[in-house]
Structures are given as structure tokens and as C-alpha cells.
């Protein structure tokens, strides 16, 4: 595991020791994502069934070609919805709605230092269950789920085999590849980074001279190694399929981890207000370190 992610895990440990509104928000957004992914095929809005050949479109049985067109249109429609959200709020879907990102969260929850064996087992189980739910909802687009218990021995072996491979793959991704995938390999993330940095809604930094205690928790917790206080700084090439020399804003997942860490640090210090926020902003800010130094010297 990279050194940077060890630092993130230490900050996460401190931050997650108290509940936070983002836990509930993330649970709801992820539930919604998985529900949309599962409901479309399960209700027969669009599904191709490679097992029994009973394909569906608009809740009725349909020829294969029509059902396949429905599946493609359904996937494209989901893409358009997430794209529109990205026009307003950058890669917020990556931070809040993408099941692959959530798999990474479950994967790293196992590595948070100081876990008792029961906590670790719980984290492992949650990760495995979420991975299974994700893989099942993807499979539901292509096969009637009844194949798992009503199929011929060969069909059941095929279905259970696919599920096992998918769960092991998703789980392994969360344990080992994790955010590196979002940073350097995700083609959708790359596309969003190009076309829609969060222009109006997202993480922003305010009040740097009054309230930032320079604890660096926000930098250390960022899963994709950004500087949340300075998202307009250009990020050099990060390898893989990521873009080079674009502002950090383009890469930001708007996941809110930096804000959560910031809120906790400010709370522990008894200071305020919180300098990092998630919301509407009138343009990303840059840290003017010289100005900050001058202001501090002026006060001293």
C-alpha cells in the first residue's frame, strides 16, 4: 500500500471515530445508485436474457434486437444523467454515486489502523456484500436472476461462476487498486475531468486567513492526492489515462472527505468557522500564500 494511502487511513481513523452527516448521505446516494442499476432490468424496462431468451423492453417481452437497443439506450440515459450532474458539480458522481468508488471505500475500511477483529470482520463482510449487490445488479441487465436457482446445472454453474468472479474482482479492486483506478485508469472519470470541472457546486476554500489552522488533514485525507485548499493549481501528469496540467478542480471527486476532516480538526481545536465547504461557489479559489504571510506578519 502506498505511503500516501497510509496517511489517509490514519486521518480516516480519527475522522470516523464520530458519526457524520456524510455517512447517511453516502448511504442514501449509494442505495439510490444501486437501486437504479437493479430496478431497470428487474422491472422489465429493458433486459436481455441470455439464459432463457425472454427479453424485455418497456415491461413487455420483445425480440432480442429491440431489447438490446433498450439496454443500450438505458445505459446511455444513465450516462446522460450523470453527465448533466457533472456539468454542475464536476465529478460528484464519482464521489457519491459510483459503486466502484464505494467498493474502494469498503476496501480501505478493512485497513484502517487499530481495528479489532470483529470490526475488521464487519468491514470485510460489508465490502463483500456490497460487491455482490453491485455485481448482481449488473448481471440483471443480461440474465434473468432466476437462473441462480432454476437454471440447468450448467446454467447455474455459469451464473454462480460469473457472480463469484465478479465479487472477487470487485473486492480485490477495493482492497488493492482502490483510488489509483479513479486517479489514473477510469475512462469515465477521465472524460469528466476533461469536459466538466465543477463550475458552480463543489468543494471550496474560504476564509483562509481567519480560520485555517494549517493542519494539512485535508491534503492527507484526499483519496486522489489533491490539495483541497488550492484546487486551481495545475496537477502534473499522474500516469495512466489522466490528463496533465489541468487544475486539481478537474480531478476532484467532490467526495467531501477533506471537508469532513477539516470539520473534525476545527472542532477538536475549538476554532471556527470551518474553512473548507461543499456547496455553491462563485469560482474556485487559490491560496495566496504570500498574502497570507503578509497578513499574519501584520497581525503579529
**Of the candidates 230, 275, 277, 284, which one interacts with ligand SF4 according to CB under 6 A?**
275
> Which is nearer to ligand SF4, 69 or 232 (by Cβ)?
232
**Candidates 60-68, 168-176, 236-244, 257-265 — which segment interacts with ligand SF4 by CB under 6 A?**
257-265
**Candidates 134-142, 157-165, 248-256, 285-293 — which segment interacts with ligand SF4 by CB under 6 A?**
248-256
> Which is nearer to ligand SF4, 135 or 253 (by Cβ)?
253
- Indicate whether 214 belongs to the interface with ligand SF4 (CB under 6 A): yes
Sole residue written with cell 433498450: 70
Positions in 66-95 near ligand SF4 (CB under 6 A): 95
Sole residue written with cell 470516523: 16
For the bound state, the minimum distance from the C-beta of residue 279 to ligand SF4, rounded and expressed in Å, comes to 12
> Which is nearer to ligand SF4, 44 or 197 (by Cβ)?
197
- Indicate whether 49 belongs to the interface with ligand SF4 (CB under 6 A): no
Find the angle CA(35)-CA(46)-CA(141) to the nearest 5 degrees: 60
For the bound state, the minimum distance from the C-beta of residue 54 to ligand SF4, rounded and expressed in Å, comes to 43
3-state secondary structure the chain: CCHHHHHHHHHHHHHHCCCCHHHHHHHHHHHHHHHHHHHHHHCCCEECCCCCCCCEECCEECCHHHHHHHHHHHHHHHHHHHHHHHHHHCCHHHHHCCHHHHHHHHHHHCCCCCCCHHHHHHHHHHHHHHHHHHHHHHHCCCCCCCHHHHCCHHHHHHHHHHHHHHHHHHHHHHHHHCHHHHHHCCHHHHHHHHHCCCCCEEEEECCHHHHCCCCCHHHHHCCCCCCHHHCCCEECCCCCCCCCCEEHHHHCCCCCHHHHHHHHHHHHHCCCCCCEEEEECCCCCCCCHHHHHHHHHHHC
Q: Helix crossing, 3-16 with 257-269: angle to 10°?
A: 60
**Candidates 133-141, 187-195, 225-233, 285-293 — which segment interacts with ligand SF4 by CB under 6 A?**
225-233
**Candidates 63-71, 137-145, 216-224, 279-287 — which segment interacts with ligand SF4 by CB under 6 A?**
216-224
Q: How far apart are CA 130 and CA 134, in angstroms?
A: 6
- Indicate whether 277 belongs to the interface with ligand SF4 (CB under 6 A): no
> Which is nearer to ligand SF4, 49 or 230 (by Cβ)?
230
> Which is nearer to ligand SF4, 124 or 271 (by Cβ)?
271
**Of the candidates 46, 190, 218, 235, which one interacts with ligand SF4 according to CB under 6 A?**
218
- Indicate whether 215 belongs to the interface with ligand SF4 (CB under 6 A): yes
- Indicate whether 257 belongs to the interface with ligand SF4 (CB under 6 A): yes
Q: How far apart are CA 215 and CA 229, in angstroms?
A: 12
- Indicate whether 144 belongs to the interface with ligand SF4 (CB under 6 A): no
> Which is nearer to ligand SF4, 70 or 228 (by Cβ)?
228
**Candidates 40-48, 104-112, 124-132, 249-257 — which segment interacts with ligand SF4 by CB under 6 A?**
249-257
Contact residues toward ligand SF4 (CB under 6 A) are 95, 203, 212-218, 222-224, 226, 228-229, 252-258, 261-262, 265-266, 275-276
Amino acid at each position: 500500500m502506498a505511503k500516501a494511502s497510509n496517511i489517509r487511513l490514519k486521518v480516516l481513523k480519527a475522522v470516523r471515530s464520530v458519526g457524520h452527516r456524510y455517512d447517511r448521505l453516502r448511504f442514501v446516494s449509494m442505495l439510490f445508485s444501486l437501486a437504479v442499476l437493479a430496478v431497470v432490468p428487474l422491472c422489465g424496462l429493458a433486459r436481455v436474457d441470455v439464459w432463457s431468451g425472454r427479453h424485455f423492453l418497456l415491461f413487455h417481452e420483445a425480440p432480442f434486437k429491440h431489447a438490446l437497443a433498450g439496454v443500450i439506450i438505458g445505459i446511455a440515459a444513465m450516462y446522460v444523467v450523470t453527465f448533466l450532474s457533472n456539468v454542475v458539480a464536476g465529478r460528484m458522481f464519482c464521489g457519491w454515486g459510483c459503486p466502484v468508488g464505494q467498493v474502494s471505500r469498503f476496501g480501505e475500511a478493512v485497513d484502517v489502523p487499530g481495528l479489532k477483529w470483529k470490526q475488521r470482520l464487519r468491514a470485510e463482510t460489508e465490502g463483500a456484500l456490497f460487491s455482490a449487490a453491485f455485481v448482481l445488479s449488473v448481471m440483471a441487465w443480461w440474465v434473468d436472476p432466476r437462473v441462480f436457482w432454476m437454471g440447468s446445472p450448467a446454467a447455474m454453474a455459469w451464473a454462480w461462476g460469473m457472480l463469484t468472479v465478479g465479487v472477487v474482482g470487485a473486492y480485490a479492486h477495493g482492497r488493492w487498486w482502490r483510488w489509483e483506478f479513479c486517479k489514473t485508469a477510469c475512462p469515465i472519470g477521465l472524460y469528466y475531468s476533461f469536459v466538466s470541472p465543477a463550475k458552480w457546486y463543489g468543494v471550496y476554500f474560504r476564509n483562509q486567513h481567519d480560520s485555517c489552522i494549517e493542519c494539512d488533514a485535508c491534503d492527507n485525507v484526499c483519496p486522489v492526492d489533491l490539495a483541497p485548499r488550492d484546487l486551481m493549481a495545475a496537477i502534473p501528469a499522474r500516469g495512466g489515462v489522466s490528463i496533465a496540467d489541468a487544475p486539481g478542480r478537474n480531478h476532484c471527486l467532490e467526495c467531501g472527505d477533506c471537508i469532513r476532516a477539516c470539520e473534525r480538526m476545527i472542532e477538536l481545536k475549538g476554532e471556527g468557522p470551518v474553512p473548507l465547504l461543499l456547496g455553491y461557489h462563485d469560482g474556485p479559489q487559490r491560496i495566496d500564500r504570500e498574502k497570507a504571510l503578509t497578513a499574519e506578519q501584520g497581525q503579529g
